[in-house]
Structure formats: C-alpha cells, structure tokens
Amino acid sequence: MEGVASEAAEPDPRRWRSLAVTLAAGFMSLLDVSIVNVALPSIQRGLEASEAGVQWVVSGYALTFGLVLVSGGRLGDALGRRRMFLVALTAFVVTSATAGAATSELMLVAARLAQGVAAGLLTPQNTGLIQELFHGAERGRAFGIFGTTVAISTALGPILGGLIIAAFGVENGWRWVFYVNVPIGVLALVLAARLLPRAPRQAVPLRSRLDITGIVLLGSAVLAVLLPLVRFEQDGLRRLWWLLPLAVGFGYAFVRWERRVLKRRGSPLLDLRLFTRTPGYATGAAIATVYFSGFAGIWLVFALFFQNGLGYTPLQSGLAVTPFALGAAVSATLAGRLVDRWGRRLTVAGLSLVAAGLALVALIVPHVPASATGYATAGPLLAAGVGGGMVISPNTTLTLDRVPTRMAGAAGGALQTGQRLGTAVGVAALASVFHAVVNDDGGNYPLALSFALLCSVVLLLVALTLAILDAHRHPHRHLTVRSRDVTEARPFE
C-alpha cells in the first residue's frame, strides 16, 4: 500500500527547486575530493606539515567519505532524507570552517576526516531525494542534472583550487579552499529547511530500524579495502595488504548477517534482494564500479603528466583537461532526457566514446611535441567527455529506477560505495603503471601516460561488455512509469 500511495500522490511543486539546493550541496562535497590537491604544497608550507600528514588531507577524506555512504543512505531511509540532509550539511559546513582555521597538521587531518564523514552522509540523500520527488521521464532528467553536477565537480576541482590559491596568495590561499564551502553551505541550509519535504513520523522505534551489526561489518569490510588503496602512494598496498583478506572475511560475515536479519523480518542495512530481485540494479552497480575504476584514475595521471612531465602549473593542468568536463556537462543533461527512450543503449554508446577518446589520446601523445600536446588532446578528450556524460546519469537512472522509494537511500549509498571502491582501485592501478613506466624508461612521461590510459581503456571495455550484455538481455528496457513502480516494489513487501 505504501507504493500505491506514493505513486498516486501529485508531484511536489517545489521538486525542481529542491533538486537545485541538494545538488549545490552535493557539488561542494564532490568538489572537495579534488580541489584540495592543488593546495597541498601551500598547506605543507603554511603548517610546516609532514609529507605523510599532507597526504592524509587527501586520502583521509576519500577514506571516510566511502566508509559511511551505505549507512548514510540507510539513515536517510529511516530518519527522513530532509532531516539527514540538514544534519549532514550542517556538519559539512562546520568541518569545512574548522579545516580552514586549522593551526596544526593534526587539526587539519582530523577536520578532513570529519568532513569526509559529513560528505558521505550527505551524498546518498541526493539520489534518495531524486527517487522520492521524481518519477518516469522526469526522473531521467533529474539524474541528467545530477550527472552534469558530478562531471563538472570532478573536472573543476583543480581549476577552482588554482584560482583560489592565485587570488588569496600561496601562504593563506589554501584556507579559502575550505572557507568557500561556508557561505554556500549556509545558504543551502536555509533553502533546504524551507523546500525539502518532511518525512512522516514513524511509529516503529529508531533502534529497531537500524542494523548496527550490519553497519559495523560493512564498515569494517569497506575500510579494509579502502585503506590500503588510498594509502597506495605511501606504500600502503605493500604494508597493508593483509587487510584485503580481512575485507573478504568481513564481507562474507556481512552477507550472512543480512540474510539472517531478513529471515527474522528485521530491517537490514542493505537488503540483498536489491541485487537479486530488482531488474538492472546488480548490473548497473557493476558497470558503475568498473567504469569508475577506469575513469577516475585518469585525472591523477593527467596531472602527473602535465605538471611533472611538461612543467604545467596546476591551473594550466586543470585547463588542459577541461574539454572532457565541457563535453560531459553538455551530454549528461541531454542523456538524462533521452534515457527514457534509449535506455541501456545510451550507456553502450557512452562507454564506446570514452574508450575511443582515451585510446586516441594514448596513441597521439608519444608522437606530438610537448608544446602542442594540450591542443592535440583537446578533441579526443572532448569526445571522451561527451561519452562520459552518457554513462553516469543514464546508468544511475537505470540502476535505481525500480528500487522501492523507501530503500532509495541505502540503494544509492551502495551504488556510490561501489564507485568509491572503483575509484580507489583505478587510481592505484593507473598510478602504479604510470610510475613504473617513468622509472623504467628514464622519465618518458608521454609513454607512461599512454600505458596508463590503455589500462584505463581495458577497464572501460569490461564495463562496455557488461552494458552490451544487459542491453541484449533487456532490449526494450525503458524507465518505469508510475503504475509499474508499484509492481517492482512488491517482492520487498
């Protein structure tokens, strides 16, 4: 009956304004993944920080961000997404201000760890609110805007970081990389409190709706995978490899526990029937994880290539990859409008374009002069960006489309956890290949970039294979209309 009531209700007239507010907050949290990279030398000088401490400013945020995504999504399902959004955004603003005001390395690292937790709690509320407020073709358009936000925030981080450092000076400019979140976050808080829909009161006690054991087990498994990977640059994989077998053990225990909770008719942290009974969810989550493995690591190797190999400034390095961001920003919005008609075929076309564009860059770079590299790679990166915009938002839409609304937060959190894990694997793998070629071939940066990008292409081809198989398995797959959403929810009742 819950599904019937939700689908019969009229759409919230404030839904588009609500989406704008939540995406503004989501933009900040995603931007902070990359914007800090260009400020690291300034941070090291300003706080006289150690190399290990400075690296924790980046890796600590990524670690805690990925650690709480599923739990944050489940809390949104249980407590109401508006409440969780306001709590998480408040925490994000406070921790951003604390990071900007840090007077020591320890204070900054602690603030970044806490900021990552706040971002991880905030991010699943975006996809959950889209599931709650939008249906049918409108949901595809909303996820298209979401995909545009992801694409722009990923690529604009280094550019905005460079501009802020240039504007406020090398000594204290890094502080404004964090302070910039405060006024935007406060404005978003005020608007969100007015616009976001309130959740109905729950008669069931909160404790019975939260799977504490599941949270601990899944968190331990994710931590055991992410920690060696995010510390890869500091020899983390060699020193912490023993955590990976532990991750398998925690993961197995988590699955057993969640099945036990379901048999007892309890409230699991992550209903595993999402993967077995929700059409498209398991395949979409796998595509997203593999795609981010191949996609996310390219930004690091491009930065290493342009800055260490060609002597670009951080701002110039960011501008050199801007064509990808521009292509993705335009195509993500258009793809969101077309996903209702074209379905999985959009993902297939997008992955093909990304793989072709990056393969072309890999072939071009060793054969062009250093002075012409930025111009020679602009066209292929633009094409790859157009493809990237056709992957993230349509795949997110198709993956979450038939998830019951009351489970949207946990489902979105699990999807994004896969993306974080894929990102960590991809960054470690591509950086490893890049450094190995540079060290073995006397600093041949173009060749190193080519090999790293070809590894990325291999991963993208795996994601493409999954998408093609899914397209053949469901050739007429389109977005659900309201009446069909109810049918898809029944297996979970």
Task: Compute the distance between CA of residue 45 and CA of residue 47 in angstroms, rounded to an integer.
Answer: 6
Decide: 102 and 111 in contact? Cβ < 8 Å: yes
3-state SS class at 79: helix
Q: Look up residue 307 and give its DSSP letter.
A: I
Amino acid at 247: A
| Residue 420: HSE in the Cβ half-sphere, 13 Å Cα cutoff | 30
CA-to-CA separations, 279 to 275, 322, 388, 471, 473, in angstroms, rounded: 8, 36, 23, 12, 11
Decide: 91 and 118 in contact? Cβ < 8 Å: yes
Q: Look up residue 404 and give its DSSP letter.
A: -
Query: What distance, in Å, lies between the first and last C-alpha atoms of the chain?
Result: 9
Domains of the chain with CATH codes: 2-210+269-492 (1.20.1250.20), 211-268 (no CATH)
Task: Compute the distance between CA of residue 227 and CA of residue 64 in angstroms, rounded to an integer.
Answer: 10
Concatenated DSSP letters for 215-273? HHHHHHHHHHHHHHHHTGGGTHHHHHTTHHHHHHHHHHHHHHHHHHHHHTT---SS-TH
Amino acid at 4: V
Task: Compute the distance between CA of residue 100 and CA of residue 102 in angstroms, rounded to an integer.
Answer: 6
pLDDT in tens, the chain (493 residues): 344 344 445 777 888 888 888 888 888 887 887 778 777 778 888 888 777 777 788 778 888 888 888 888 888 887 888 889 999 999 999 999 999 999 988 899 999 999 999 998 998 888 788 878 887 778 778 877 887 787 777 667 777 877 887 788 777 788 988 998 999 899 999 999 988 888 766 655 556 567 788 888 888 888 888 888 777 666 656 777 788 899 899 989 989 988 888 888 777 888 888 888 888 888 999 999 999 888 878 887 888 888 888 888 777 877 888 898 888 888 887 887 788 788 888 899 999 999 999 999 999 999 998 888 888 999 999 999 999 889 888 888 888 878 877 777 778 888 888 888 888 888 888 888 888 888 776 678 899 999 999 999 999 999 999 999 988 876 655 555 443 443 344 445 4
Decide: 290 and 463 in contact? Cβ < 8 Å: yes
The phi, psi pair for 368, rounded to 5°, reads: -120, 150
